[in-house]
Each structure stands twice: as structure tokens, then as C-alpha cells.
A and B are shown apart, each in its own frame.
Chain A
């Protein structure tokens, strides 16, 4: 007898990445490596992206996924990893705890 999914989230991003890679799809993996303030997704959160811009997972709950996905296309194309920084300067947003009032650093690397 085995236990259920090793991940507590309903979508296991790393399992998805492995399945997509096995299907021969060129991929990039984005990972939240640092956060400051009220970042919406914790350090270690993953987003997997394919060359067509399909993605699974999240690094910010929707705030910066678009930028990460477009950067991922270049990472897939040239194989060079990138570290992206995102922040919202709006102090009011931060103070009231809006989810996008924090700053995050995201590493994007190619899989394969």
C-alpha cells in the first residue's frame, strides 16, 4: 500500500515536468528562490513551462507568471539560466497585505 501524492498541492508540478519531458517537450523550470514582504507563493514553489507557453504550477499566484513564461521561452531557446526579480513598489499595497505587495526572485532553468 502506498500513500497518495507526495505533494500537498493538488497539482504535482515536478511530476508534470517529468511527464512533459518524457514526451519530448523542451521545458523550463521556474523556482521561487527568495521572497520579501507578503509574497504570495513560498520559496521553493515551481512553475514548469514548455516552448509553446503552456505551463503548470505557480510562482506568484498569477501576478508575474506572464513575464516568467515569456522569459522561459528564451531560456528554452538558448539554454542559459536566468534569475528574475519582481517587486511591487506600492507601499500601500504592501501594508494592507495585498498578495502582490511583496518582492520575489525567480530562477528559470532549462530542463534537459
Chain B
């Protein structure tokens, strides 16, 4: 007996194996023995588990939409997994990654759009960052004070080409619902007090907005990207004149002193006015470039063409 295990030791039979079966002590009750069903049903459990995972994967696949990248001016407060992407306040996706571009100059925000929101990954879609801001145009983005910034988006036109890389607007467009207004470019010798968001007015009515300001490639002038609301797009003709309404001028003449300013908002925030000589000139095409005069010529303010506005609000 070389194998001394407890079981073997417990037997301690003096006789060499095979040990004789010890006599059963009398008086012990006999346990009931019954057939036991083989467990087949229990294998349903892993199958159910696999099924649950399959359902999850299908659901994930069904809800996952395109992945897009948006270059934002500043990424502070934008956090992966937390920052919402909204359209009219409805979540259309979530930020999945924030990183810098290859030149390490611009933050790039990667967004996973919901599947139903794939229209937001088309040419013409616009994105901008909503932060709380207080300006001449009032308080905006107050709801983001506690939640941190959110990205707001507007979809491009139906059937537009797919696009997955965007540059966020510097600020919300004047009427965010109409990102597909008439986009024109204005040139000025210097920027003055014009800022992104400055109004473009016709008879002191805001008809559009300065979206972005930048220096021309040859640095000889300043370029303004301007968006005219679709309804007012017919006002802009090839012969339309633009002038700067920022600041004020003082005219000294025989009739006395004349103070010339447009509105307090324009005085403080800067603005651009436009006038059109005749309704017979063709409408301006998108991307047309106009010069901005420092001040209006006298006759511009007397022009009064009859122009039918586009239907809409």
C-alpha cells in the first residue's frame, strides 16, 4: 500500500485489496432512489444568452448611423459620450471622440449619428456649437450653462450628396432652419466692427447675417460670408449695392448738424445694409461677390424697386 490517501487510510483493512465488503450495519433506513431526467432543457440558457446578444447587436446595427467629423473652433467642454448633438432640440447623435487635426491646430469632433439622422451627413448640412453667450442680440444658449456646450445641426437638402467631414459655423445662423439661404461673399477694405452674427438689413429689416469673416487669400481685403434668408433672396440682384452701417457719421452743412446712424444695434455691433436699384436686374447667383461701400451714396437710399419676396415666413 504505497498510496496513502485519506480514503485509503480510513479503510485500514489488514487484508490486502480487494478488501471484503464490510457488512451493512442493520437498522439504517434505505434512501429512496429515483430516476433522474437528463438535463437537456438547461442548454436553452446559453442559447437564450446568445439570442439576447444577437438582439443587442441587431439593435445596435439598426440604430447606428453614419460617423462624421466636425471641425470646431474650440472644443472646451465637449466631451466624448456626454455632449449631445441636437437638431431643433432633438438628439440626433452623440460625440464619440474629440481630437486635434493632423496639424494640431483645430479640434475635430467625431459624431456617431443615429441611423435615422443620416440626412445630417449630407452636403449642405451645417453644425455649430451652442454655448451660453450674452451679446447685443440678447442671451442665447442659456440651457447649455449647466449641461455644457452642445452641438446643433441642420440637415442639408433632400437627396444631397453624402458628406462626412464638416467645418462648424462660428456661430448659429440667423435662422437656423434656413441654412440653405442665399450665400454671397462681400469684400471690404477692413473689417471695422463687423462680426460673425452682424445683421444684413434692407430698409432696417434684418434679411441676412454675416456668418464668417476672414482675410482674402492675397490679404488685400476682408471677405465676409453672408447668408441671406431664402425669403429675402430676391432682394439681392446683380446691381445691388452694400454699405457699412457701423458707426455713425456727422454731416455739417448749411442746414445744420446731421447725425447719421442706422440703429443702436448696428452702431454697437456693426452691420451691413443693402439696396437694389431695379427689379428688372437678374437675381444674384449663390457665391456672387459684392463690394461693401463705407457709406451709401445718396441715390441708393432713394431706390425703391417693387420686388416680390419668396413665399415663406
* Chains A and B form a bound pair: no
Chain A contact residues, CB within 8 Å of chain B: none
Chain B contact residues, CB within 8 Å of chain A: none
